[in-house]
Every structure is written in C-alpha cells, then in structure tokens.
Amino acid sequence: MSNAVDVEKNFNSKLEKNDFVEPKDWMPENYRKHLIRQISQHAHSEIIGMLPEGNWISRAPSLRSKMVLLAKVQDEGGHGLYLYTAAETLGISRDELLGALHTGKAKYSSIFNYPTLTWADIGAVGWLVDGAAIMNQVMLQRTSYGPYSRAMIRICKEESFHQRQGYEIMCRLSFGTEAQKEMAQDALNRWWFPTMMMFGPPDKDSPNSEQAIKWRIKRETNDELRQKFVDRTVEQAEFLGLTIPDKNLKWNETKKGYDFSEPNWEEFYNVIKGNGPCNKERLEARNKAHSDGAWVREAAMAYAEKKKENILAA
Amino acid sequence: MTTQEALFKYTLRLSDTSLILAQRLSEWTSKGPFLEEDLALTNIALDILGQANSLLEYAAKTEGKGRSSDDLAFFRNEREFYNTLLVEQPNGDYAQTILRQCLIDNFDLLFYQELAKSKDETLAAIAAKSIKEITYHVRHTSSWVDRFGNGTEESHTRIQNALNELWRFTDELFEMNEVDAVLLKEKIAVDLQAIKPLWKKQVDAILEKANLKLPETVFMQTGSRNAKHTEHLGYILAEMQYLPRMHPTAKW
Ligand SMILES: [Fe+2]
Ligand SMILES: [Fe+2]
Ligand SMILES: [Fe+2]
C-alpha cells in the first residue's frame, strides 16, 4: 500500500502531466467535494433548462421547428443523465442530488430562472445561452476528472448544434416580417445581460476560481470567458441587424476586444438567492413532476422485486 | 370520389393521428416520472412527429393545390382534422398516457406492417421506415402496462381506470368509409376489419398478463372519420396553431 504522501504526489503529477484523474484514484477531499458541487449543479441546470424551452414545444410555429425543439429538449435531458452518472462516480447517489435540487438546497444556472415569453426567446436561448454554455463546456472537455471530461465531450457536440439551431431561428425572425424582427430584438434585449451573468461574478469576487483552475476543474477565468463571448456575439448580432442593448459597447483597439457594461450583479445575487422571475415556478414544476411520478417509480420497483422473487422461487 | 381525393383524405387521417398524438405526448417532456422515462417517451413523441411530418408532406403533394405541410398542420380547423378520437384524449396520469400509447402502438404495428405492402410507393416507404420505431414503442409501452398491472395496488388501480376510460375510443380505429373502399380497390389502403381480430388478440394477451379486465358496458364513440371530434381537439389546435395564424405571411 502506498502511503498518504505517495498518493498525493501521484494526484499532483497527474494534474501536471494533464492526465485524467479516474474514480478509483485517490483525490483530495476538497477536490471531490468541489467536483460533486460543480457537476451536479451542471446536471441540475440541464434538467431545469428543459422547462423554459419545453414551454414552447406545443406552440412551435412550424413542423420543423417543433421537431428541432423537441429533440433539443430531449438532448438537454440526456446531458443531465450523463452528468448525474459522472457525479455518481464520486460516491453520491442521484437520489441525494435530486433531493438537494428539489428542496432548493442545490444551485443551478440562474439563467433558467428567466421566462421564455415569445417564440423568439427559443431562438435567443439557443443562440446566446447555449452559446455561452459552450464556452464554459469546451474548456471543461480538458478538465482533470476523467468521467466529467468524457461527459463534456459528448455534450459539447450537441450544444454546438443547439447554438446553430437557435441562431437559425434568430435569422428567420430578423430577416422576416416587421413583427418578427421586433420579437427578435425584444428577446435579445431581455436575454443579453442574464446571459453575461452565466460566466459568474467578476474574477475579483470569485473566490473559488483560483483553486479550481489549479485543479483543472476550470481552465479560464470568468472574465476571460465573458470577454470571448462578447467579442464573438457582437459580430453575430450585427449580421442579424440587431442591436446589443448596451450603450457602452465599443471596440477597444488596444485590447483587441470590446468594452462593455457589467451586468447588474445585484440582480444576479438576487436570482441566485431564489428571487428571480421564475425560481418559484421552476422548483415547483420539478417537484410536481417528481412527486407525480412517485407511484410510477414505486410500481417499477415493486414489479422488479416480484420478478426477482419469482426467479428465486422457480 | 377520385383515387387522388381518397388518397389525400387517407393520408390526412394518418398524418393527423400522428401529429395530434405527438402533440399530446410531448406535453410530458420535462415532466416525466424519472429522467430515463422522460427521455424514452420524448423519443416516442419524436418518432411519431417525424411520421406526421412525412405524411403531411405527402398529403400536401397529393392534394396538389400548392399547400405546404405546414399549411395543412397550422391552417386547418377543427372540422378538417381526421385524427382518431383516442389520440386527442388528455394525457391524464402516466397510466392513462401509457395505456393509450400501448393500444395505439399495437394497432400501428399491425397497420404499418400491412401498409408497407401498399401499392402506393410513398405510403409503403413511410410505413416501412416506421415499423422499426413502432416495434420499439410496442415493447416499451406493453412492458409498462405489465409493470403497472403487476406492480403496486395503486398502479393496478390506475391502469385499470385508464382502460375503463379509454376503451370506448378503440372501435373507431377500425372504422372504414368510402375513402377506404376506393383505396382498397387500388390495393393502397389497409383492410382495417382484417387486422381488428389480430389487434384484439394481442391486446387481450397484454391485458391478461397485466391482470386487467375490459370494462363491461361500453358505448363505443365515433366521429373522426367525418372530422367530428371531442371538445379536446379545439384546445390542442388553438395552442398549436396560434402563432402561424397570428402572422399568416411569416416564415418560421
Ligand atoms: Fe444546456
Ligand atoms: Fe445541454
Ligand atoms: Fe443545449
């Protein structure tokens, strides 16, 4: 048996060599805890994210857009599944994780506490929210924990589809009728700042970041990612002929990037605390689905038990 | 009625049944009893929506009046839809959704296996493609009926109630009218009366395994072959169609 110093050395050398840490490997307790928190928050976000988008499946305005949206929401559920499975390799059960979500103890991405009010929101969510998610997730493909990294590789492929599909909706609206254009601009106006918040608070106020980067659980800082996102999205908005709702948005030649306004961080912390426009609805919907499904899960369990007994008796 | 007119109506009957069913099933998406089952039911909804789409495209083409599949889906009224009454019934609890789906899956499997032999090449191709999907659906929903029937007391009660509620819409699945007569002659349509006993046998076996009993006094409902529906359809269409109708010149 190797002693404590050896296993820690081994862990650190994996980080240095860009090797993966696997479930059976020794890892520091804080690393495990941080991962469980991060992966399960991500899983919860996928599941909660199904709600605002699922909100428009029945009203999608064409057969094609209905198929695309239904498939997308299903993808998000699949992402949730991969991620819960990855979290379970760290020694926690899905029931525990869901319990934390349903009681409001666990966090999920605050973006899903905003409502999808019009069809254009489905475009804006795909374009902006999935777009922002990809920036985070691409970085996580190279994260240090093996199961997490592998889940992210599968997820990223699908997320980039989602982003393209969202942008396609925005294109159709932006080059469509006057009413469609207005719908698109209104959606951008409402989703721009909440999306910027997805990268988390400014680096100076983000206490967990430094350690997470050392562990390769995170690879770029919140501010770096936010800057990248703005630089990329501005061009896409210009192509659509839409205006980013920020008067301070301006090209900065020295930094070769845009200057922009910070989102309202007070609002951000409020939404995280549970005071966003849809926090209550999202949690209620999750809890209702879970409790309405209780008898189904019980029936499946009872049936499996009976089958087992029959096999043993036979 | 010309063959073409009959073919148009026949295709609408199939496409509308798939479209309205997919609309109903996708109401469950994100609200399923657990994640794997949420994904599985959404998968079924997606398959069926795909069928609806192919069938509506073919209906539009058959009609030949320049209407698109979207026009047919979003700009027809309650009295122009030919889906069966069974698919427009509310989801109810998960037992009711599963039972409705199980009855339909078993019908669809027999129906599309026959339709795959149709003289109409497009319908035959759509049917052939659907069979693989439906085979999986049948397995999925039939095993849930078994699980509910033999699971807990509560699940047994729920699935029995679902059967009592929905059985009255099953005769209609096999109704034939002039449309069928015209197309049977051309070897395009499926003889529904011929598959009825096969369906009944399959369903009886599933119900027996699940310890379920057919309700005794049931008055069979009818109407959809003449586009006469239950009150539910109007609400489904109102929700599904409102956006294209509000912006009739828009492209989505
Ligand atoms: Fe996502
Ligand atoms: Fe996702
Ligand atoms: Fe996504």
Distances (CA, A) of A277 to A43, A48, A115, A283: 21, 14, 7, 12
- Mean pLDDT over all residues of chain A? 94
Closest chain B residue to A181, measured at CA:
B250
Tokens of B240: 């599904």
- For A73, the closest of B29, B152, B250 (CB atoms) is B29
Which tens digit of pLDDT belongs to each residue from A212-247?
888 887 778 899 999 999 999 999 999 999 999 999
Q: Do the chains contact at A62 and B70, CB–CB below 8 Å?
A: yes
Note the ipTM here.
0.97
Interface residues on A facing B, Cβ-Cβ cutoff 8 A: 47, 50-51, 54, 57-59, 61-67, 70-71, 73-74, 77-78, 80-81, 84, 119, 169, 172, 176-177, 179-180, 285, 288-289, 292-300, 302-303, 306
Banded pLDDT at A263 (limits 50, 70, 90): very high
Which of A61, A74, A80 shows the shortest C-beta gap to B244?
A61
Helical axes B121-149 vs B153-166, angle rounded to 10°? 140
pLDDT digits (tens, 9 = 90+) for A90-126: 999 999 999 999 999 999 999 999 999 999 999 999 9
Average pLDDT, integer, range A143-161: 94
Q: Which ligand is nearest to the CA of A133?
A: 1
Q: Report how far residue B103's alpha carbon sits from residue B173's, in angstroms, rounded to the nearest whole number.
A: 10
Disruptive mutation site among A47, A79, A295, A306 for chain B (greatest number of B CBs within 10 Å): A295
pLDDT at residue A84 is higher than 80: yes
* Run of H or E including B152: none
Residue B30 with chain A: CB contacts under 8 Å: 47, 50-51, 54, 73, 77, 285, 289
Residue-wise pLDDT tens digits, A57-75: 999 999 999 999 999 999 9
Residue scoring higher pLDDT (A4 or A306): A306
- pLDDT greater than 90 at residue A197: yes
Q: Please indicate whether, in this complex, the C-beta atoms of B39 and A78 are within 8 angstroms of each other.
A: yes
pLDDT in tens, B38-86: 999 999 999 999 999 999 999 999 999 999 999 999 999 999 999 999 9
- The one-letter amino acid code at A87 reads A
H-state helical runs in B92-152: 94-115, 121-149
CA distances to A254, B6, B252 from A79, rounded to whole Å, are 39, 45, 27
DSSP string covering A66-105, please?
Answer: HHHHHHHHHHHHHHHHHHHHHHHTTS--HHHHHHHHHTT-
Residue A310 has pLDDT above 90, yes or no: no
The pLDDT tens digits of the residues spanning B85-128 come to: 999 999 999 999 999 999 999 999 999 999 999 999 999 999 99
